[in-house]
Amino acid sequence: MRRVVITGFGIVSPIGTGVEAFFDALGQGCNGIAPISHFDASGLEVRYAGEVKEALSFAHEHEQALAERDPKVGFALTAAAEALSMAGVKAFSPDDCIHIGTSLETFFFKEFSVESPSECPEAFFRHLVTHPWRLPLDAALRAIQTRYGRGGQAVTNCSACAVGLQTIGQAFHAVRGGRCSLALAGGFDSMINPLGVGGFQLLGAPALGNPVPGKAFCRPFDASRSGLVLGEGAGFVVLEEREKALSLGKTLYAEVCGYGATLDAHGLSAPDPDGDGAARAMLAALCDAKLLPQAVDHINAHGTGTQLNDPVEAAAIRRVFADTWQKVPVTAVKSMLAFDRRCWIHRGHHLHLHPTARNHPSEYRPRHGGGWVRTDARQA
Amino acid sequence: MLSAKAFSQLGWQMQNVPEVRIIGSGMVTCLGASCAATLAAVKAGSRVQGEPFPFLAGTPYSDCLAAQGQELDLCGRITDRRMRKFMSRQAELAAAAAREALEEADLPARGVAPERIGLYAGVGLAAMDIAASAKLLRASLDEEGSFSLSRFSRDGLHTIHPLWSFHTLANMPACIVSVLEGIKGDNGIYTPWEDQTAFALLEAAHALGEGSIDAAVVVASDTPSHPASMVGLASSDFIAPGEVVAPGAACLVLERTNTSTTERLFSRLSSLRLVTSPQEDARPDDPLAPVIGRTLAAAPLLLVILAPLLGLPCRLRGCGKHSFSFEAA
């Protein structure tokens, strides 16, 4: 069976854009969560988010216009460009595939106006036809194809929270199975707009108001966690067949060994309290990689910081890593970056464990019995 | 049966794919709320009828047409009343088609574990609830009739149901199918055009071939005649002038032939091919369009079910920046 390696990766995040800046900030435990500045959120109960602060620039006018219209398309283009450049890819061939993913369409309401409120919704729809108000979720895919060529398989996955990892997993299987020779995979997202933030506020999942002095705003696995914090950015990898990459003299940053995906079929707004779906996904990935749980040195958790997710995830970890959970470090990058649907990777050649910001494992462990949540950075 | 030879073109190759059979199928079209109802209507001579979108009058897109007729009642298929609150029309269509297909496949009775059933979906542009959106907008306008962020935060947001965003999340139709049907295996959800549904079908075949699942549910749903979708489609290169867009959904249940334990067999797929095409000036070609309208993301699965029964070619072509061709036999 073919082995699959990562030969490039690219990142846009609230703590840094570009691989070097991102890892430096991650190792230092930088905090990317701050008051929302993209729009006036003072009227909302959700007022903090993990925003990308850097202004991204694009060589082509149409890319700049797309990024201004929908920032997540700009994040995707930037992260994809970094990943492809690192892998030495200038253009896609028909044997290459593109698997990317995101979650929610962005709807643009700001320009809307009517002579009389009673004209809604007819006037609304008339207005929208001549004032494009939405970009389909495949806008980023098309922008990447416009710049690098169409390639072969081109997929926009919309599996929400799992989407970043799912694109990598499915691309990994495609490369391993010989269905393509190279894949660009990853996720991108931004929900920091009035409708995105307002919609999440209605669902009751985000942390509200302002941070408590001395405490991080997003506190995954913390006994006093108060909810998720919305974030934005993009993370992409280039996957290639190992022998071919070696023959081309490419640098191998990591190897993808296994992938598993499940549904818990429990409900729409809460996970299975036993963590069954998450546990089966981890077991499926281990099985796919032909590895035992004892071989795992680090767990990068979903760690949303919500009341519902964290104990369920901890239960799933304990179930899969029954003999080793007390020794395996668990980190939750959302404590610094906030919540979106992209993917994060570690430097495969030199695993670096980032801290989980201002966490309180002593409060967490007795209650939920999960692994050791790192509060400091270290080399593994 | 799926054959490796059929997938030897341009990037969408399939290798080591097992024989696959269709053991369940379901659909909702503008002509009927099931496979049987749609077929009976077609055989009786019914064809989709189009009518103009009132809000497109006087715009460059005034010749875009929506399928005529009342929305089909799907209550018989979706009995979970609590769940219906979470469901957009697209999700309702998907759930109804999935129920019909799974009823026919009868997987639980044959001992197929929910963990070994995969779910692969293709969904169209999200279509929000019009009444709720209009209410939100009215409450968010200032004295001049312009959208006001402060009014939105103070008043508009509170007019809508807390679960409103569930209607716009593209993954919801598949999530709802998984919860209603208890499907727990591998999965993938792709959006928003026909080629993504065709990819879902191929991904299901791969998962069956690689042995990560024992049965695959492939579901597709789209509501292009919904005003919120149509305003996105009108300015795209997807709809030809005068074409009728219509809601639709379809579902297939697949098994590997060599491990299937049922004699039930709706149909076989002898080949599947999905090819990206550099011909951006090609016209869209959906052989079902004159019969049930353009159903976009739902079309590939509807075509797999209906083409052999109606004597139509099982070939679909997209155009413009998204050009591709899909074939099944």
pLDDT of residue A349 exceeding 80, the answer is: no
> Which of the residues A112, A202, A263 would you substitute to probe the B interface, choosing the one with the greatest number of B C-beta atoms within 10 Å?
A263
> Which of the residues B146, B158, B184, B280 would you substitute to probe the A interface, choosing the one with the greatest number of A C-beta atoms within 10 Å?
B184
Residue B213 is encoded by which pair of tokens?
A: 């699942």
Between CA A49 and CA A56, with CA A51 as vertex, the angle to 5 degrees is 170
Per-residue pLDDT at A91: 96
> Is B138 near chain A, with CB under 8 Å?
yes
Interface contact flag, A129 B188, Cβ < 8 Å: no
B244-245, strands of its sheet edge to edge? B50-52, B65-67, B244-245
The whole-number average pLDDT for the span A206-222 is: 84
β pairing state of B315-318 and B324-328: antiparallel
Residue B2 is encoded by which pair of tokens?
A: 């799926």
Per-residue pLDDT at B161: 84
Per-residue pLDDT at A336: 78
> Which of the residues A122, A125, A137, A146 would you substitute to probe the B interface, choosing the one with the greatest number of B C-beta atoms within 10 Å?
A125
Q: How much is the ipTM here? A: 0.90
Banded model confidence at residue A341, pLDDT cuts 50, 70, 90: very low
**pTM for the complete prediction?**
0.91
Nearest chain A CA: its distance from B94 CA (Å): 16
Interface contact flag, B206 A173, Cβ < 8 Å: yes
Output B17 or B272, whichever has higher pLDDT.
B272
The percent of residues above 90 in pLDDT, for chain A, comes to: 56
Contact residues, chain B, for A287 at CB < 8 Å: none
> Is B187 near chain A, with CB under 8 Å?
yes
Per-residue pLDDT at B320: 57
Banded model confidence at residue B242, pLDDT cuts 50, 70, 90: confident
Contact residues, chain A, for B189 at CB < 8 Å: 157-159
**CA of residue B229 relative to chain centroid, distance:** 13
Banded model confidence at residue B117, pLDDT cuts 50, 70, 90: very high
Residues A230 and A9: beta-carbon distance below 8 Å: no
Contact residues, chain B, for A286 at CB < 8 Å: none
Banded model confidence at residue A362, pLDDT cuts 50, 70, 90: very low
- Interface contacts (A, B; CB < 8 Å): 220
Q: How many residues does chain A have?
A: 380
pLDDT of A292-323, one tens digit each? Answer: 999 999 999 998 888 888 999 999 999 999 98
Per-residue pLDDT at A378: 54
Chain A, residues 129-168, CB within 8 A of chain B, namely 129-130, 132-134, 136-138, 142, 150-160, 166
Interface contact flag, A126 B212, Cβ < 8 Å: no
Cα-based distances in Å from B290 to B38, B47, B69, B307: 14, 7, 16, 13
Q: Where is average pLDDT lowest: A11-15, A356-360, B128-132, B201-205?
A: A356-360
Answer whether CATH 3.40.47.10 is correct for domain A4-110+130-379. yes
State chain A's mean pLDDT as an integer.
Answer: 85
Interface contact flag, A280 B115, Cβ < 8 Å: yes
Contact residues, chain B, for A166 at CB < 8 Å: 188
pLDDT of A254-292, one tens digit each? Answer: 999 999 999 999 988 889 999 999 999 999 999 999 999
Interface contact flag, B185 A262, Cβ < 8 Å: yes
Nearest chain A CA: its distance from B316 CA (Å): 17
The whole-number average pLDDT for the span A162-173 is: 96
Interface contact flag, A159 B171, Cβ < 8 Å: yes
pLDDT of residue B256 exceeding 80, the answer is: yes
What would the DSSP string read from start to end of B171-206? Answer: THHHHHHHHHHT--S-EEEE-SSHHHHHHHHHHHHH
Interface contact flag, A265 B235, Cβ < 8 Å: no
Residues 6+ positions from A187 with CB-CB distance below 8 Å: A100, A101, A102, A163, A164, A165, A167, A234, A235, A340, A341, A342, A343
Residue B260 is encoded by which pair of tokens?
A: 């299937």
Give me the amino acid identity at A287.
C
Interface contact flag, A126 B55, Cβ < 8 Å: yes
Residues 6+ positions from B176 with CB-CB distance below 8 Å: A268, B83, B86, B87, B91, B94, B95
Chain B, residues 238-257, CB within 8 A of chain A, namely none
> Which of the residues A106, A110, A129, A192 would you substitute to probe the B interface, choosing the one with the greatest number of B C-beta atoms within 10 Å?
A129
State chain B's mean pLDDT as an integer.
Answer: 84
pLDDT of B288-313, one tens digit each? Answer: 999 999 999 999 999 999 998 899 88
pLDDT of B155-194, one tens digit each? Answer: 999 998 888 888 888 999 999 999 999 999 999 999 998 8
Interface contact flag, B153 A43, Cβ < 8 Å: yes
Output B245 or B261, whichever has higher pLDDT.
B245
Cα A5 from Cα A199, distance rounded (Å)? 38
Domains and CATH numbers, chain B: 4-128+168-328 (3.40.47.10), 132-165 (no CATH)
Q: Where is average pLDDT lowest: A339-348, B108-117, B120-129, B256-265?
A: A339-348
Does residue B312 sit in helix, strand or coil? coil
Contact residues, chain B, for A200 at CB < 8 Å: 165
Buried b / exposed e over A49-78, threshold 16 CB at 10 Å, is: bbbbeeebebeeeebeebbeebbbbbbbbb
pLDDT of B32-55, one tens digit each? Answer: 999 999 999 999 999 999 999 887
pLDDT of residue A143 exceeding 90, the answer is: yes
Give me the amino acid identity at A295.
A
Query: Residue B84: is it exposed, middle or buried by C-beta count within 10 angstroms (0-12/13-18/19+)?
Result: middle
Output A124 or A230, whichever has higher pLDDT.
A230
